[in-house]
Protein backbone atom coordinates (compact mmCIF):
# COMPACT_ATOMS: atom_id res chain seq x y z
CA UNK A 1 0.00 0.00 0.00
CA UNK A 2 1.44 3.34 -1.00
CA UNK A 3 -0.57 5.47 1.45
CA UNK A 4 -2.23 4.89 4.82
CA UNK A 5 -5.72 3.47 4.57
CA UNK A 6 -8.68 5.42 5.94
CA UNK A 7 -9.11 3.45 9.14
CA UNK A 8 -5.46 3.79 10.08
CA UNK A 9 -5.71 7.54 9.50
CA UNK A 10 -8.82 7.77 11.67
CA UNK A 11 -7.19 5.86 14.50
CA UNK A 12 -4.03 7.94 14.25
CA UNK A 13 -6.20 11.04 14.72
CA UNK A 14 -8.12 9.42 17.62
CA UNK A 15 -11.32 9.44 15.55
CA UNK A 16 -14.07 6.86 15.15
CA UNK A 17 -13.48 4.37 12.34
CA UNK A 18 -16.70 3.17 10.70
CA UNK A 19 -16.93 -0.18 8.94
CA UNK A 20 -19.48 -1.86 6.66
CA UNK A 21 -20.03 -5.60 7.09
CA UNK A 22 -20.40 -7.43 3.78
CA UNK A 23 -22.79 -10.38 3.82
CA UNK A 24 -24.27 -10.43 0.31
CA UNK A 25 -21.67 -8.44 -1.67
CA UNK A 26 -19.97 -10.45 -4.40
CA UNK A 27 -18.56 -7.79 -6.75
CA UNK A 28 -15.67 -5.30 -6.38
CA UNK A 29 -17.86 -2.26 -6.97
CA UNK A 30 -19.39 -2.66 -3.49
CA UNK A 31 -16.22 -1.62 -1.60
CA UNK A 32 -15.94 1.31 -4.02
CA UNK A 33 -19.52 2.31 -3.15
CA UNK A 34 -18.72 1.95 0.56
CA UNK A 35 -15.79 4.32 0.09
CA UNK A 36 -18.01 6.81 -1.71
CA UNK A 37 -20.46 6.65 1.21
CA UNK A 38 -17.69 7.60 3.63
CA UNK A 39 -16.92 4.27 5.31
CA UNK A 40 -13.37 3.71 6.57
CA UNK A 41 -13.30 -0.08 6.43
CA UNK A 42 -15.16 -3.17 5.32
CA UNK A 43 -15.38 -6.53 7.00
CA UNK A 44 -16.16 -9.54 4.84
CA UNK A 45 -18.12 -12.06 6.88
CA UNK A 46 -17.21 -15.70 6.27
CA UNK A 47 -18.81 -16.93 9.50
CA UNK A 48 -22.46 -16.37 8.63
CA UNK A 49 -22.45 -16.37 4.82
CA UNK A 50 -21.73 -18.50 1.76
CA UNK A 51 -19.00 -16.11 0.59
CA UNK A 52 -15.95 -17.95 -0.74
CA UNK A 53 -12.32 -17.22 0.02
CA UNK A 54 -11.80 -16.17 -3.58
CA UNK A 55 -14.66 -13.65 -3.39
CA UNK A 56 -13.38 -12.36 -0.04
CA UNK A 57 -9.97 -11.78 -1.63
CA UNK A 58 -11.52 -9.84 -4.52
CA UNK A 59 -13.51 -7.65 -2.12
CA UNK A 60 -10.42 -6.99 0.01
CA UNK A 61 -8.31 -6.01 -3.00
CA UNK A 62 -11.07 -3.65 -4.18
CA UNK A 63 -11.21 -2.13 -0.70
CA UNK A 64 -7.47 -1.47 -0.65
CA UNK A 65 -7.73 0.17 -4.07
CA UNK A 66 -10.50 2.40 -2.69
CA UNK A 67 -8.51 3.40 0.39
CA UNK A 68 -10.52 1.27 2.82
CA UNK A 69 -9.10 -1.12 5.40
CA UNK A 70 -10.33 -4.65 4.62
CA UNK A 71 -11.09 -7.09 7.42
CA UNK A 72 -12.23 -10.68 7.06
CA UNK A 73 -14.28 -12.28 9.81
CA UNK A 74 -13.28 -15.92 9.73
CA UNK A 75 -15.66 -18.70 10.85
CA UNK A 76 -13.16 -19.98 13.43
CA UNK A 77 -9.52 -19.68 14.48
CA UNK A 78 -8.33 -22.52 12.25
CA UNK A 79 -4.75 -21.74 11.11
CA UNK A 80 -5.43 -22.32 7.42
CA UNK A 81 -8.30 -19.81 7.50
CA UNK A 82 -6.35 -17.08 9.28
CA UNK A 83 -3.24 -17.31 7.15
CA UNK A 84 -5.04 -17.59 3.83
CA UNK A 85 -7.24 -14.53 4.29
CA UNK A 86 -4.21 -12.49 5.39
CA UNK A 87 -2.15 -13.69 2.43
CA UNK A 88 -4.87 -12.89 -0.11
CA UNK A 89 -5.85 -9.32 0.73
CA UNK A 90 -7.11 -8.89 4.29
CA UNK A 91 -5.30 -6.26 6.33
CA UNK A 92 -7.26 -7.25 9.42
CA UNK A 93 -8.71 -10.52 10.65
CA UNK A 94 -11.66 -10.79 13.04
CA UNK A 95 -11.55 -13.98 15.10
CA UNK A 96 -14.92 -14.91 16.64
CA UNK A 97 -15.71 -16.52 19.99
CA UNK A 98 -12.51 -15.65 21.86
CA UNK A 99 -13.27 -16.55 25.46
CA UNK A 100 -9.80 -16.83 27.02
CA UNK A 101 -6.30 -15.43 26.84
CA UNK A 102 -5.10 -18.84 25.63
CA UNK A 103 -7.48 -18.70 22.67
CA UNK A 104 -6.36 -15.16 21.86
CA UNK A 105 -2.69 -16.20 21.96
CA UNK A 106 -3.35 -19.15 19.66
CA UNK A 107 -5.01 -16.85 17.11
CA UNK A 108 -2.21 -14.30 17.32
CA UNK A 109 0.40 -17.00 16.76
CA UNK A 110 -1.13 -17.84 13.38
CA UNK A 111 -1.31 -14.17 12.32
CA UNK A 112 2.17 -12.99 13.36
CA UNK A 113 5.58 -13.85 11.96
CA UNK A 114 8.31 -15.26 14.20
CA UNK A 115 9.39 -14.66 16.86
CA UNK A 116 5.95 -13.42 17.96
CA UNK A 117 4.06 -16.11 16.07
CA UNK A 118 4.23 -18.93 13.56
CA UNK A 119 2.81 -17.34 10.41
CA UNK A 120 4.42 -18.64 7.24
CA UNK A 121 5.88 -16.09 4.83
CA UNK A 122 3.96 -16.31 1.57
CA UNK A 123 5.68 -13.46 -0.21
CA UNK A 124 4.43 -10.09 -1.38
CA UNK A 125 0.65 -9.81 -1.67
CA UNK A 126 -2.18 -7.28 -2.18
CA UNK A 127 -1.58 -5.65 1.21
CA UNK A 128 1.93 -4.64 0.14
CA UNK A 129 0.86 -3.67 -3.36
CA UNK A 130 3.04 -6.50 -4.68
CA UNK A 131 6.08 -4.30 -4.20
CA UNK A 132 9.39 -6.17 -4.56
CA UNK A 133 10.63 -6.05 -0.98
CA UNK A 134 13.55 -7.69 0.72
CA UNK A 135 12.54 -10.52 3.06
CA UNK A 136 13.16 -8.55 6.25
CA UNK A 137 11.33 -5.48 4.93
CA UNK A 138 8.42 -7.57 3.65
CA UNK A 139 7.78 -9.30 6.96
CA UNK A 140 8.23 -6.07 8.93
CA UNK A 141 5.80 -4.21 6.65
CA UNK A 142 3.12 -6.89 6.82
CA UNK A 143 3.61 -7.38 10.55
CA UNK A 144 3.19 -3.67 11.17
CA UNK A 145 0.01 -3.24 9.13
CA UNK A 146 -1.80 -6.43 10.19
CA UNK A 147 -4.68 -5.93 12.64
CA UNK A 148 -5.76 -8.90 14.75
CA UNK A 149 -9.18 -8.47 16.36
CA UNK A 150 -10.67 -10.80 18.97
CA UNK A 151 -14.45 -10.94 19.18
CA UNK A 152 -15.63 -10.94 22.78
CA UNK A 153 -19.11 -12.45 22.69
CA UNK A 154 -19.40 -14.66 25.74
CA UNK A 155 -19.56 -14.26 29.50
CA UNK A 156 -16.33 -16.24 29.79
CA UNK A 157 -14.64 -13.81 27.42
CA UNK A 158 -15.77 -10.84 29.50
CA UNK A 159 -14.63 -12.55 32.70
CA UNK A 160 -11.13 -13.06 31.25
CA UNK A 161 -11.01 -9.74 29.41
CA UNK A 162 -8.09 -8.25 31.34
CA UNK A 163 -5.85 -11.21 30.46
CA UNK A 164 -7.09 -11.28 26.85
CA UNK A 165 -6.32 -7.59 26.44
CA UNK A 166 -2.73 -8.14 27.58
CA UNK A 167 -1.98 -10.70 24.84
CA UNK A 168 0.95 -9.40 22.80
CA UNK A 169 0.19 -9.04 19.12
CA UNK A 170 -3.56 -8.60 19.64
CA UNK A 171 -4.76 -5.21 18.40
CA UNK A 172 -8.52 -4.99 18.93
CA UNK A 173 -11.19 -6.14 21.35
CA UNK A 174 -14.39 -6.30 19.31
CA UNK A 175 -17.51 -6.69 21.42
CA UNK A 176 -20.22 -8.89 19.91
CA UNK A 177 -23.39 -7.75 21.68
CA UNK A 178 -25.88 -10.11 20.03
CA UNK A 179 -24.23 -13.40 21.03
CA UNK A 180 -23.26 -11.97 24.41
CA UNK A 181 -26.77 -10.83 25.34
CA UNK A 182 -28.20 -14.10 23.97
CA UNK A 183 -25.95 -16.06 26.33
CA UNK A 184 -26.96 -13.74 29.17
CA UNK A 185 -30.63 -14.51 28.49
CA UNK A 186 -31.36 -10.87 27.60
CA UNK A 187 -31.03 -11.03 23.81
CA UNK A 188 -30.95 -7.57 22.28
CA UNK A 189 -31.42 -5.78 25.61
CA UNK A 190 -28.48 -3.46 25.15
CA UNK A 191 -29.73 -1.08 27.87
CA UNK A 192 -29.66 -3.88 30.45
CA UNK A 193 -27.28 -3.27 33.34
CA UNK A 194 -25.50 -6.60 32.86
CA UNK A 195 -24.65 -5.85 29.24
CA UNK A 196 -23.58 -2.29 29.99
CA UNK A 197 -21.29 -3.53 32.76
CA UNK A 198 -19.78 -6.07 30.38
CA UNK A 199 -19.21 -3.40 27.73
CA UNK A 200 -17.58 -1.13 30.30
CA UNK A 201 -15.27 -3.97 31.36
CA UNK A 202 -14.16 -4.53 27.75
CA UNK A 203 -13.69 -0.79 27.20
CA UNK A 204 -11.63 -0.46 30.39
CA UNK A 205 -9.43 -3.44 29.50
CA UNK A 206 -8.82 -2.04 26.02
CA UNK A 207 -7.79 1.34 27.42
CA UNK A 208 -5.50 -0.20 30.02
CA UNK A 209 -3.74 -2.39 27.46
CA UNK A 210 -3.60 0.20 24.68
CA UNK A 211 -5.88 -1.84 22.38
CA UNK A 212 -8.60 -0.69 20.01
CA UNK A 213 -12.10 -1.01 21.47
CA UNK A 214 -14.70 -1.95 18.86
CA UNK A 215 -18.38 -2.88 18.74
CA UNK A 216 -20.57 -4.50 16.10
CA UNK A 217 -24.33 -4.59 15.72
CA UNK A 218 -25.64 -1.66 17.78
CA UNK A 219 -27.74 1.03 16.09
CA UNK A 220 -28.77 3.23 19.01
CA UNK A 221 -26.73 6.42 18.67
CA UNK A 222 -27.14 7.29 22.33
CA UNK A 223 -25.50 4.01 23.33
CA UNK A 224 -22.82 4.46 20.69
CA UNK A 225 -22.07 7.95 22.01
CA UNK A 226 -21.73 6.52 25.51
CA UNK A 227 -19.30 3.88 24.26
CA UNK A 228 -17.30 6.44 22.26
CA UNK A 229 -16.87 8.37 25.50
CA UNK A 230 -15.45 5.15 26.97
CA UNK A 231 -12.91 4.81 24.17
CA UNK A 232 -14.83 3.15 21.33
CA UNK A 233 -12.90 3.77 18.11
CA UNK A 234 -14.15 1.07 15.71
CA UNK A 235 -17.76 0.32 14.92
CA UNK A 236 -19.23 -2.13 12.46
CA UNK A 237 -22.16 0.11 11.54
CA UNK A 238 -24.35 -2.36 9.68
CA UNK A 239 -24.46 -4.99 6.96
CA UNK A 240 -24.98 -4.53 3.25
CA UNK A 241 -28.14 -6.65 3.49
CA UNK A 242 -29.47 -4.80 6.53
CA UNK A 243 -28.89 -1.34 5.08
CA UNK A 244 -30.45 -2.37 1.77
CA UNK A 245 -33.54 -3.76 3.50
CA UNK A 246 -33.89 -0.66 5.68
CA UNK A 247 -33.57 1.82 2.81
CA UNK A 248 -35.63 -0.24 0.36
CA UNK A 249 -38.43 -0.84 2.86
CA UNK A 250 -38.60 2.87 3.64
CA UNK A 251 -38.74 3.74 -0.04
CA UNK A 252 -41.52 1.26 -0.78
CA UNK A 253 -43.54 2.47 2.22
CA UNK A 254 -43.13 6.05 1.05
CA UNK A 255 -44.36 5.22 -2.45
CA UNK A 256 -47.27 3.16 -1.07
CA UNK A 257 -48.39 6.32 0.67
CA UNK A 258 -49.08 8.03 -2.64
CA UNK A 259 -52.77 7.72 -3.41
CA UNK A 260 -53.30 7.32 -7.17
CA UNK A 261 -55.76 9.71 -8.80
CA UNK A 262 -58.69 7.70 -10.19
CA UNK A 263 -58.03 7.11 -13.86
CA UNK A 264 -61.75 6.83 -14.71
CA UNK A 265 -64.65 9.12 -13.92
Query: Which positions are annotated as active-site residues?
Result: 48
> Shortest CA distance to 2 belongs to which of 87, 74, 64?
64
Region class of 40: left (phi > 0), else alpha (psi between -120 and 50), else beta: alpha
- Per DSSP, the residues of the chain read --S--HHHHHHHTT--EEEEEESS--STHHHHHHHHHT-SEEEEE-SSS---HHHHHHHHHHHHHTTPEEEEE-SS--HHHHHHHHHTT-SEEEE----SHHHHHHHHHHHS-TTT-------S-GGGTT----HHHHHHHHHHH-EEEEEE-SHHHHHTHHHHHT-TT--EEEE-HHHHHHHHT-TT-TTSHHHHHHHHHHHHHHHHHTPEEEEES---HHHHHHHHHTTEEEEEEEEHHHHHHHHHHHHHHHHHTSPPPPS--
Sign (positive/negative) of CA torsion 257, 220, 33, 240?
Answer: negative
What whole-number distance in Å separates Cα of residue 204 and Cα of residue 233?
13
Amino acid sequence: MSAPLRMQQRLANDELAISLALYQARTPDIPMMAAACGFDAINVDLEHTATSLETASMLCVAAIGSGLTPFVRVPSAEPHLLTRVLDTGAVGVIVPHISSAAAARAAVEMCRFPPLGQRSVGGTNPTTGYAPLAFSELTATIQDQTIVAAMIESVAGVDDIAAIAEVEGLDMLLLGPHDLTAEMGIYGAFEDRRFLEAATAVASAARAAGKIFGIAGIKDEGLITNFVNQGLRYISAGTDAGLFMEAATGRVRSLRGIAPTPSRP
